[in-house]
Amino acid sequence: MDPGKRKKLITQTTLHLQFCFELYEWEHAAGRVWLHEHPDRAWSWKLDFVQALLKKPGVIRVTGAQCGFGLTSVDFDGIEGLVLKPTGWATNSQRVADRVGVACTNSS
């Protein structure tokens, strides 16, 4: 990808993500439940505004496997199977965290 285009996309996506985290902050302050999902190993988990929210009392970050929700794909041989896809979740609800922080059981 063209470096200028890549930089522009990163800037746009970071601004969008920052807006989403501002909404989570408002929801959290008002005592409402919120949930954020992003690939578990994404660089965005290290952003300062993400880390700031994760440090707030009552905020929980868990990792869950998408295969636990039945995510499947077809391989090069045409065989369908479960996809692990480690996913990071942040929420202010223990019940939600318990539900989305599932391990892959190799069954849908």
Tell me 33's DSSP state. -
Tell me the whole-structure pTM to 2 decimals: 0.84
* Separation of alpha carbons 88 and 29, rounded Å: 22
End-to-end CA distance of the chain: 36
Taking CA atoms, 67 is separated from 24, 25, 43, 78, 98, in Å, by 26, 30, 22, 18, 16
47-104 per-position pLDDT tens digit: 999 999 999 999 999 999 988 888 889 999 999 988 888 999 999 999 999 999 988 8
